[in-house]
Amino acid sequence: MLMERKHSEERLHKVKAGFGKFTNYLREFVYGGMDGSVTTFAVVAGAEGANLGSTVIIILGFANLLADGFAMSVGSYLSSKSDNENYERHKKTEYWEVENIPEAEREEIREIYRQKGFEGELLEDVVRVITADKDRWVNVMMKEELEMIPENKSPFAMGAATFISFVLVGLIPLMSYVADSFISLNNTFAISAILTTLAFVIIGMVKTKVTQTSIWKGVMETLILGCSAAVVSYLVGFLLESFVP
């Protein structure tokens, strides 16, 4: 009985750890999904406005979905990788300064904490404790002087999360058109609009976990963004189809 309880607790711990890793990349999932749904539905709306037909919509939709998703994920990866490299470069500089010009760096620590309200013997104690450990010293300088905090997320995982969410959520506006290829559907655009609206609502709700705002605000922002992009795309497609020979 005791062993079963122990194994159950271990499984629960693993599940919580796995969920914790997922939530670390919630921001990438949310914004990847937002971009995927908005841009793909914009393509669908523009093609509908131009009366291009379901086959063309599927081709344009999937081309946009995969190309834009890949580009966005690469951008996320390179941006995160660049930030990490920039952090490490400045950290190496701080280590060099601590090792070669310690008095100047010690005075910088003293000035930082003097501005925080420390003074007299208490200030000197703080400086003494911080500078007693080189790693702690450098970490304080990175945070307090350079205002730089290390990113604890993998650049590759950030790019992967962005791509996966972009594709998964971006597929939603195309589902009715894909289904129409196998079984005849009426009002494929209306079905696509309804499904995409539901996706906007869900993404808006999840976004509030990242932005720490009200659910209504998150949902309305996402709906307004998505609907505005769709309306503009539809009008552009309609006008081009009307005036371009």
Question: Could you report the per-residue pLDDT of 123-163, keeping only the tens digit for each?
Answer: 999 999 999 999 999 999 999 988 888 888 889 999 999 99
User: Which residue do the tokens 């523009």 mark?
Assistant: 46
**Would residue 236 count as lying in a domain?**
yes
**Would residue 215 count as lying in a domain?**
yes
* Contacts of 136 by beta carbon, 8 Å cutoff, 6+ apart: 130
Query: Chain-wide mean pLDDT for the chain?
Result: 85
- Which of 61-75, 203-217, 226-240 shows the highest mean pLDDT? 61-75
Domain count along the chain: 1
Q: How high is the pLDDT of residue 29?
A: 87
- Give the pLDDT confidence of 42-56 residue by residue, as tens digits: 899 888 888 888 899
Q: What number is the average pLDDT over the span 7-32?
A: 61
Predicted TM-score (pTM) of this structure:
0.77
Does residue 95 surpass a pLDDT of 90? yes
Does residue 241 surpass a pLDDT of 50? yes
Does residue 121 surpass a pLDDT of 90? yes
Q: Which residues of 171-196 are buried (b: 16+ CB within 10 A; e: fewer)?
A: bbbbebbeebeeeeeeebbebbbebb
**Would residue 142 count as lying in a domain?**
yes
Q: How high is the pLDDT of residue 69?
A: 93
**Would residue 3 count as lying in a domain?**
no
Residues of the chain with pLDDT > 70, as a percent, come to 90
**Would residue 213 count as lying in a domain?**
yes
Alpha-carbon span 53 to 49, nearest angstrom: 10
**Would residue 131 count as lying in a domain?**
yes
Task: Give me the domain span that covers residue 170.
Answer: 34-243
DSSP single-letter state for residue 149: -
Does residue 234 surpass a pLDDT of 70? yes
**Would residue 152 count as lying in a domain?**
yes
User: Which residue do the tokens 């010690």 mark?
Assistant: 106
**Would residue 116 count as lying in a domain?**
yes
Q: How high is the pLDDT of residue 13?
A: 44
